């Protein structure tokens, strides 16, 4: 009988795709410059911005670090069209809507004419007011609450016919679809998350699954399809003339993986209103008293949607263990979602506030010794970290490229951890060991850095300069006499 070699077991297409995906992500993470030591990266970035001279379109560092002055009027007034799927309403808005409101209210206050094309608010909800001089942005609502790019485009064309052409068109993520984007040479799109980052997020979330917990078919399909979304984006992103990355790591991905020419990728970090988020010890003490937290306690806090992809399964388990060892440590939870009730079940060491209105956020942050962000979503850049730092609080956050490369760029600003319970618990123990005095010292360093990088003023001036550059190449040079 002839010898027949045993037929090898063949892997399923899904398994092969997953292995390919994991390998690609590992290579990307290993080759990324954002894994360098945070403090060295911070120093290098600051040095580049300080000494930079030339065409801003070729700057790889964040434009927030440029010395742009808010004194005096802008060198030219701009007419700007903004496409955003949603505009903030009276209820708690998402990060992208808050970014749009903060940025374009500030630009309106600088004297630019802002026209926003967005979906209508739900029944009974009122759109947020920008509060800028001259009445703020002009809002053009669609007929319904769902985003329709074709209807928004019709409103845009009607405004062009009525008021004249726009100097710049700004899209919040893919509000302007790519088949329209190819017609607009003066278009800039701000990416609040790209599919490659979402792919990373899916992997991190699956790694939190218990060994005895099966992989759901829906998640398996989602993870398998993610690679095709990345490929689609790489193919159509080049239709957008200018790309604004809201973190340094996203800028690297757009240049290196999505193959967007460097001169069309610009890093401008999000910013928060510096007059609303600032240190206020007495306000924080009053908020602690309101929550009935005993004097001398160490207080940690977390805010946002209380869902799995924000890392709440990790924090729930880690803090449950921590509180058994340290009964004087409290966790204040601000937000709503499926994990709210579970936090409340942890007992007296957890204060579950529910949704916190915007006017109370300053008091919330100031009541803390440290702010926690255990997110499993590396896409975008969480505004809560910036708000906490503006209030003079150190942060402990997941060690993702966007966070360690843009937010916690110096060890003095706080702590980063791998997205698992053991690493998070180790960091929480370090926080307790250092104590409130050392945490306050770290918080002062955070405040100084946040004021130099994460303010609404810094963000709006950076966007203003980019928009001026898009209108007229003269403004692409830096420095200019008015800088």
In angstroms, rounded to a whole number, what is the distance separating the alpha carbons of residues 321 and 315? 10
Residue 2 lies in a domain: no
pLDDT of 265-305, one tens digit each? 999 999 999 999 999 999 999 999 999 999 999 999 999 99
Average pLDDT, the chain: 89
Residue 18 lies in a domain: no
Three-state DSSP at 116 gives: strand
pLDDT of residue 25 exceeding 70, the answer is no
Question: What is residue 346's DSSP assignment?
Answer: T
Instruction: Say whether both 247 and 310 belong to one domain.
Output: no
Question: What is residue 475's DSSP assignment?
Answer: G
* 130: confidence class by pLDDT, cuts 50, 70, 90: low
Find, among 137, 93, 95, 131, the residue nearest to 117 by Cα.
137
Contact in structure between 61 and 49 (CB atoms under 8 Å): yes
Percent of the chain with pLDDT over 70: 87
Instruction: Say whether both 149 and 290 belong to one domain.
Output: no
Instruction: Say whether both 351 and 237 belong to one domain.
Output: no
HSE-up of 206 (CA within 13 Å, CB side)?
A: 19
Instruction: Say whether both 305 and 377 belong to one domain.
Output: yes
Helix axes 195-207, 217-236, angle to 10 degrees: 160
Residue 179 lies in a domain: yes
Instruction: Say whether both 257 and 301 belong to one domain.
Output: no
pLDDT of 384-417, one tens digit each? 999 999 999 999 999 999 999 999 999 999 999 9
Residue 14 lies in a domain: no
* 95: confidence class by pLDDT, cuts 50, 70, 90: confident
Contact in structure between 300 and 330 (CB atoms under 8 Å): yes
pLDDT of residue 53 exceeding 60, the answer is yes
First to last CA, the chain: 87
Residue 17 lies in a domain: no
Instruction: Say whether both 86 and 227 belong to one domain.
Output: yes
Residue 4 lies in a domain: no
According to DSSP, the β-strands at 168-172 and 187-191 are parallel
Instruction: Say whether both 167 and 56 belong to one domain.
Output: yes
Instruction: Say whether both 257 and 321 belong to one domain.
Output: no
What phi and psi values does residue 302 have, to the nearest 5 degrees? -140, 150
Would you state the pLDDT for residue 124? 66
Residue 195 lies in a domain: yes
Would you state the pLDDT for residue 16? 44
Give pTM, 2 decimals: 0.89
Residue 6 lies in a domain: no
Residues spanned by the domain of 86: 37-209+217-271+456-473
pLDDT of residue 26 exceeding 50, the answer is no
Instruction: Say whether both 158 and 227 belong to one domain.
Output: yes
Segment holding 83, helix H or strand E: strand 79-83
pLDDT of residue 28 exceeding 90, the answer is no
User: Into how many domains does the chain fold?
Assistant: 2
> Average pLDDT, stretch 347-374?
96
Residues 6+ apart with CB under 8 A from 136: 105, 108, 109, 114, 129, 130
Instruction: Say whether both 460 and 449 belong to one domain.
Output: no
Greater model confidence, 84 or 123: 84
pLDDT of residue 22 exceeding 60, the answer is no
Find, among 265, 271, 244, the residue nearest to 59 by Cα.
265
Instruction: Say whether both 427 and 391 belong to one domain.
Output: yes
pLDDT of residue 204 exceeding 80, the answer is yes
DSSP, residue by residue, 143-203: SSSS--HHHHHHHHHHHHHHH---SEEEEEGGGS-HHHHTT-TTEEEEES--HHHHHHHHH
Instruction: Say whether both 359 and 250 belong to one domain.
Output: no
Residue 198 sits in a domain whose CATH number is: 3.40.50.2000
């Amino acid at each position: 009988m002839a010898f027949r070699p045993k037929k090898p077991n063949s892997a399923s297409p899904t398994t092969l795709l997953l292995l390919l995906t994991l390998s690609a992500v590992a290579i990307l993470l290993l080759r990324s410059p954002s894994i360098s030591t945070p403090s060295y990266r911070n120093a290098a970035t600051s040095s580049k911005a300080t000494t930079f001279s030339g065409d801003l379109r070729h700057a790889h560092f964040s434009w927030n670090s440029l010395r742009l002055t808010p004194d005096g009027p802008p060198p030219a007034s701009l007419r700007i069209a903004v496409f955003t799927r949603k505009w903030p309403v009276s209820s708690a808005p998402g990060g992208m809507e808050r970014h749009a409101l903060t940025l374009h209210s500030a630009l309106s206050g600088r004297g630019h004419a802002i026209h926003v094309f967005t979906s209508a608010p739900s029944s009974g909800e009122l759109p947020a007011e920008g509060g800028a001089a001259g009445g703020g942005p002009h809002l053009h609502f669609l007929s319904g609450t769902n985003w329709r790019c074709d209807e928004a485009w019709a409103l845009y064309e009607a405004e062009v016919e009525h008021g004249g052409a726009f100097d710049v068109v700004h899209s919040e993520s893919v509000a302007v679809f790519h088949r329209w984007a190819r017609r607009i040479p003066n278009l800039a799109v701000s990416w609040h998350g790209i599919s490659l980052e979402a792919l990373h997020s899916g992997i991190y979330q699956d790694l939190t699954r218990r060994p005895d917990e099966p992989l759901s078919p829906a998640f398996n399909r989602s993870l398998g399809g993610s690679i095709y979304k990345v490929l689609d984006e790489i193919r159509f992103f080049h239709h957008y003339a200018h790309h604004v990355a809201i973190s340094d790591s996203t800028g690297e991905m757009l240049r290196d993986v999505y193959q967007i020419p460097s001169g069309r990728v610009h890093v401008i970090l999000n910013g928060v209103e510096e007059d609303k988020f600032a240190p206020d010890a007495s306000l924080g003490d009053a908020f602690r008293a309101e929550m009935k937290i005993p004097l001398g306690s160490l207080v940690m806090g977390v805010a946002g949607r209380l869902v799995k992809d924000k890392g709440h399964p990790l924090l729930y388990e880690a803090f449950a263990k921590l509180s058994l060892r340290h009964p004087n440590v409290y966790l204040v939870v601000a937000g709503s979602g499926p994990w709210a009730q579970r936090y409340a079940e942890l007992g007296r060491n957890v204060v579950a506030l529910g949704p916190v209105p915007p006017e109370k956020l300053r008091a919330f942050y100031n009541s803390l010794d440290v702010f926690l962000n255990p997110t499993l979503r590396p896409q975008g850049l969480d505004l809560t970290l910036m708000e906490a730092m503006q209030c003079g609080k150190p942060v402990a956050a997941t060690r993702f490229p966007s966070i360690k490369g843009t937010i916690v760029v110096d060890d003095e600003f706080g702590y980063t951890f791998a997205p698992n319970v053991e690493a998070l618990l180790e960091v929480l123990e370090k926080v307790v060991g250092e104590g409130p005095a050392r945490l306050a010292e770290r918080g002062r360093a955070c405040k100084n850095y946040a004021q130099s990088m994460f303010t609404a003023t810094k963000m709006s001036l950076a966007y203003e300069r980019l928009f001026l550059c898009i209108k007229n190449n003269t403004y692409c040079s830096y420095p200019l006499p008015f800088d």
